[in-house]
């Protein structure tokens, strides 16, 4: 069950990662290529980590911890899994796009003091506005 898995997970979770690293670095030819799916998943890991409990699971009530799987198609396990996973991936990607835009707005690429001062003032005003709520 869950407790048996949790007991051995720290000792076994590194095995597939190590095998992948060894196989990928066996030759220079293998090091030239990468799987685009893994590269794409690596870009949205922050968003998937944050959103996993909000999309795949539902809470036990107000301020409750997520303990139940989100069910959109009762009695259809595989359909429900495909639906929730599709929504999860789509929302994670959209939040990633928003994160990139916010990063570009808040963190300037140019090092001009005026741009840094302007963005800092906006950040302070936004924090003050949210704090006032």
This prediction has a pTM of 0.64
pLDDT value of residue 55: 80
100-to-43, 93, 97 alpha-carbon distances in Å: 10, 11, 5
pLDDT value of residue 16: 93
Q: Structural domain boundaries of the chain? A: 1-33, 36-132
Could you tell me the pLDDT band of residue 67, with boundaries at 50, 70 and 90? confident
- pLDDT tens track for 74-124: 899 999 889 989 999 999 999 999 999 988 877 767 777 777 788 788 889
Which residues on neighbouring strands pair with residue 69, listed in sequence order? 57
User: Under a CB-based contact definition with an 8 Å cutoff, are residues 69 and 58 in contact?
Assistant: yes
Which residues on neighbouring strands pair with residue 59, listed in sequence order? 66
- pLDDT tens track for 107-120: 767 777 777 788 78
């Amino acid at each position: 069950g869950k407790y048996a898995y949790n007991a051995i997970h720290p000792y076994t979770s590194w095995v597939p990662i190590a095998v992948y690293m060894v196989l990928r670095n066996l030759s220079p030819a293998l090091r030239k290529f990468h799987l685009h799916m893994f590269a794409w998943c690596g870009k949205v890991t922050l968003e998937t980590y944050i959103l996993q409990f909000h999309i795949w699971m539902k809470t036990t009530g107000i301020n409750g911890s997520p303990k139940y799987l989100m069910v959109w198609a009762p009695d259809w396990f595989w359909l429900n899994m495909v639906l929730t996973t599709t929504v999860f991936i789509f929302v994670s990607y959209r939040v990633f796009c928003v994160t990139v835009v916010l990063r570009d707005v808040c963190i300037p690429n140019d090092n001009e003091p005026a741009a840094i001062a302007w963005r800092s003032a906006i950040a302070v005003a936004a924090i003050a506005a949210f704090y006032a709520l």
